[in-house]
Amino acid sequence: MINNSFGVFSTTEEICFVFHLKTLELVDKMIDKCQQPKESLGGLSMVILELYQNDYSKDLVAFDCIEEGKAFVAQIPGYTLETEDGFEVEYFNPKNIPDYMEIIFNGNIVPLSKFMFDPEENVDIIWKEISNLSLKNDRVIEGYSKIDAYVVNNDEVKTYVEEREVNYRQAKDFLECSGYEVDRSFFGSEDGEAILYRKKGSKDWHFLCHLDPMFIEIEDLEEYVKEEVGEIQ
């Protein structure tokens, strides 16, 4: 400790970094919180720390809770936490990192070097939650999944997929019974899969709709198809 306000730690290069004692106290509190039994935290997920700069990203380490992760990144020289439009933005400037340093966390030694990063760009800190299957659970894992072009909460995936396919088959059957051929196209596109149709014997395909969340909410699918097809006939 330097005085009543600041403390110091040094790297293996004997370079010293000064931290406000309130920061160090916050780190200690966060570590203590995450050392509670997992049952009391109720957490079934782990948090991954991703470092992102330009087009490069690296999953650096993982934690049992976000508080523990926050305690770790608070030790990165130049770490900055800002609030923009109500959202927390975390980053650090790699110019503050020495040639080589180590962050020791729960006995784990994490090496950092300024040569890992572009010195002219800030490094963004991104938190990603992932389920920890080593812990017992009796429900759908937390998080989300990408279904076609859309993100769906994991506990809604089953219903979303089932309703999507039921509506597709209903639209397909109705069109085929009305003398049309049907095709599914554009999987992987920005707006996702779409239903195309054409009159039997015709070479021209027509767009009906995307298989998106709005498609699932259509209550009278046959009436919807009649209106859409009628507009281009």
In angstroms, the CA 104 to CA 125 distance is 19
56-94 pLDDT, tens per residue?
999 999 999 999 999 999 999 999 999 999 999 999 999
pLDDT of residue 38: 42
In angstroms, the CA 199 to CA 181 distance is 6
Q: How confident is the model at residue 142 (pLDDT cuts 50, 70, 90)?
A: confident
Q: Beta-strand (E) ranges in the chain?
A: 6-10, 16-20, 45-53, 56-63, 79-84, 87-92, 101-105, 108-112, 123-131, 144-147, 150-153, 180-185, 194-199, 206-210
The SS3 assignment for 206 reads strand
Contact criterion met (CB below 8 Å) for 154 and 145 = yes
Q: Six-digit token pair at 31?
A: 């570590």
In angstroms, the CA 226 to CA 178 distance is 10
Q: How confident is the model at residue 1 (pLDDT cuts 50, 70, 90)?
A: very low
* Residue 65 CA from chain centroid, whole number: 16
pLDDT of residue 45: 85
Contact criterion met (CB below 8 Å) for 110 and 11 = no
Q: How confident is the model at residue 132 (pLDDT cuts 50, 70, 90)?
A: confident
Q: Six-digit token pair at 113?
A: 């070097």
- Average pLDDT along the chain: 86
Q: How many CA atoms lie within 13 A of 7 on its CB side?
A: 9
**Look-up of token digits 């959202």:** 87
pLDDT of residue 135: 85
Angle of the 157-177 helix axis to the 221-232 helix axis, nearest 10: 50
In angstroms, the CA 64 to CA 218 distance is 41
pLDDT (mean) for 35-59: 75
149-198 pLDDT, tens per residue?
999 999 999 999 999 999 999 999 999 999 999 999 999 899 999 999 99
With 0-12 / 13-18 / 19 or more C-beta atoms within 10 angstroms meaning exposed / middle / buried, residue 93 is middle
Q: How confident is the model at residue 28 (pLDDT cuts 50, 70, 90)?
A: low
Q: Please, what sign has the CA dihedral across residues 142, 147, 151, 152?
A: negative
pLDDT of residue 18: 47
The SS3 assignment for 31 reads helix
In angstroms, the CA 19 to CA 6 distance is 6
